[in-house]
Amino acid sequence: MELLAYIVCTLCLPLFPLSMGVSYALGKLRGLRTIAFLLLPLAGFFFLGFIEKPPSAVLYISLFTSLLYAFRAVSAESLSRWGIYIFVSAVSLLWLHPSGEKSILGLFYALPFVLLSLSERLIAVRFGSSDLRLVRGIGLGAPKLGFITTLSILGVIGVPTSTTFVEFLNLLEARDFFRSLILSGVWFFWGWSGVKVLSSIVFGSPREDLSYEDLNLRGSLVLIVLSAFVFGAGYVFFEVLSYLLGWRGEL
């Protein structure tokens, strides 16, 4: 069972060099990418529960994979590619979780990527592509879509209280210098690539040769609710954590 768990986990929580195949497949999936973003961490986390304790080499490879894809995200040429790089970078880090944590957390960490994927699809459908060199000025041309895209990017790069931020916080080991250093690098590259994407696609003057169609009310509401989940779930985590700590203190 453990062998099977390893095989599934290396595909769902991709490690280099298998991550290249996952990255390629995610690029090809297009419309189904949202579902893949949801299922991969969920399945990966589920099977991770069957692995007692991954060898330290696997943990180092997961750190390397995360840093590599975070660094690649800095020069991503489209929102979809950027999302895939950050997804691989974030999900590969889940190997670092202490064993025993169960699959529900996979859903927790998948949420920001689901939101990003939906925003990306909305942009790609409207403009034919989410290429950062072609599409710009969404913030002014389609303010609601720009707002949702901004929230999704912020959620993915780990702005508090998004679930990605909670994941990052969970993985930090202040006493492990090497791990902290790599995670700091990952955190920095996520942020750097995130603001580059924002500056390219959301900011700037709208192009005159493009038609900017904004979200309708229903679409906006659905995405706002999802955004509230992305940031609200992290907040709830902090509340539960603070409650448990307070309860422990009273004991």
Partner 1 sequence: MPAIVLPFLPLLSGVLVYLFGRDSERKAYRISLFFSFLTAFVSLLLLIAYLREGSFKVGLTPFLSFYIDALSVVMAVAVSFISLVVHAYSIRYMQDDEGYARFFALLDLMTFSILITVIAGNLLLMFVGWNLIGVILYFLLSHNLRFEQAHRFGAWTFLTHRIGDLPLLFAILLLFESYGTFEIDKVREGLLSGNVPDNLELVGILVVLSAFAKSAQFPLHVWLPYTMAGPTPVSALMHAGIVNAGGFLINRFAPVFYHAEYGLHLAFWVGLITAILGSTLMLLQTDIKKSLGYSTVGQMGYMIMECGVGAFALAIYHLIAHGIFKATLFMGSGGVIHEARKDPNIPEDEVYSFFVKRELPPTRLPWIVFALITVSVPLIIVLLAHLVAGVDVFKYQGALILLFFGWVTGAQTIFSIYKLGARSVYKLLLFVILSFSVVVLGYVFIGHSFEKFLYPDKEFIERIYHNAGIHPTVFELQIILLTVVVALGWLLVYYANQNRDVVMPKFRSLYVALYTHLSRELYVADLYEAVAKKLTELSSKLNRSLRWL
Give the integer Cα–Cα distance in Å for 72 and 171: 21
Residues present in the chain in total: 251
Side chain identity at residue 189, one-letter code:
F
Q: Which residues of 238-251 are buried (b: 16+ CB within 10 A; e: fewer)?
A: eeeeeeeeeeeeee
Give the integer Cα–Cα distance in Å for 42 and 105: 7
Query: Site mask, partner 1, residues 153-192, x = CB under 8 A?
Result: -x----xxx-------x--x-xx----x---x--xx--xx
Comparison of 103 and 170: residue with beta carbon closer to partner 1: 170
Closest CA to 157 of 115, 123, 122: 115
Comparison of 95 and 190: residue with beta carbon closer to partner 1: 190
With binding defined as CB under 8 A, does residue 245 bind partner 1? yes
Contacts of 159 (CB under 8 A, 6+ apart): 165
CB of 163 to partner 1, least distance (A): 14
Identify the residue among 55, 98, 100, 246 touching partner 1 (CB under 8 A): 246
Identify the residue among 6, 46, 60, 203 touching partner 1 (CB under 8 A): 203
Contacting positions for partner 1 (CB under 8 A): 20-21, 23-24, 27, 71-77, 81, 137, 139-140, 154, 159-161, 169, 172, 174-175, 180, 184, 187-188, 191-192, 195-196, 199, 202-205, 235, 238-239, 241-243, 245-246, 248-249
